[in-house]
Amino acid sequence: KAKGPKGKKITLKIAKNSIRISSDGGRRLDLSKMGITTFPKCILKLADVDELDLSRNMLKKIPSSIQKFQKLRWLDLHSNQLEELPEAIGTLQNLFYLNICNNKLTTRNLPEELNLLKNLRILNLGLNCLESIPTSLGALKELKEIGLFDNVLTTIPNSVKKLPKLKKLNAKRNPFPDSTKQEEHADSIKRIETLYLVEEKDLCSSCLKTCQDERDKLNKLKNVTPRPSKKPSFPLLLTPNSSAKDNQEEWRLR
């Protein structure tokens, strides 16, 4: 039986030297791009870090011992070869950022315990092999951004689309049955909390003038010839394409 790549061995000394201080003062263990093929057991002795970056390695599995990282707020596992996630990931109650983009995850191997991450704000599931999204993710009421691009989704459950704080949902390049619906899923979610309609006669002179000025500005903007649009920028949900980009820092989720 052919053995896979051996990968780099991470020692406790290497791990300690890889700790950085993040912009908000937290301690970040950065083991990205290290050629790691198996989860380094030695880093369990550094389980008090606030952020853990294991992205761009060759990991196929994350062990249940990930639950020891109870202080973890930020976990980046993108661009590995993960085929499953442990149920124990649901115990990381302080997690607000989880990036598992560009792996080999299927819907069946997506643990239901993800719905226990009640403080999660950003979740990236793009570039995997997901056939559907569990409706239970609708329990993540704090979720603001979710990446579902480049999977094999044919629909997105309403429980996810109608999350109360969701501002950005990227579901591009999925085989949705209706192309117009695909565009609808890919667009940023826009919400109008309150809309008041009144007649001009009901406005005072100053309010009327303000409204007219705003309308004039809007009309001027409509009449301006639009410039060619720049490449869209989604700082937290960029679509990676490691084979097409020389500099992967351009699409790394931060």
- Average the pLDDT over 112-125 and give the result: 97
Q: pLDDT tens for residues 155-199? A: 999 999 999 999 999 999 999 997 555 455 555 454 434 334 455
Q: pLDDT tens for residues 84-97? A: 999 999 999 999 99
Domains in the chain with CATH codes: 21-170 (3.80.10.10)
Q: What is the per-residue pLDDT for 91?
A: 97
Confidence of residue 23 (pLDDT cuts 50, 70, 90): confident
| β pairing state of 51-53 and 168-170 | unpaired
């704080």: which residue's tokens? Answer: 165
Q: How does the average pLDDT of the chain come out, rounded?
A: 82
